[in-house]
Amino acid sequence: MFRETCNNQECMKEFNVTMMGVDVPGGKDKEPVICPYCNTIVRTEMISQTFSTSKLEDLKK
Residues of this chain that bind Zn ion (CB under 5 A): 6, 8, 11, 35, 37-38, 40
CB of 27 to Zn ion, least distance (A): 28
Residue 16 or 48 having the CB closest to Zn ion: 16
CB of 21 to Zn ion, least distance (A): 23
Question: What are the residues whose beta carbons fall under 8 Å from the beta carbon of 35, sequence distance 6 or more?
Answer: 4, 6, 8, 11, 13, 15, 41, 42, 53
Distance CA 39, CA 53 (A): 10
Residue 14 or 45 having the CB closest to Zn ion: 14
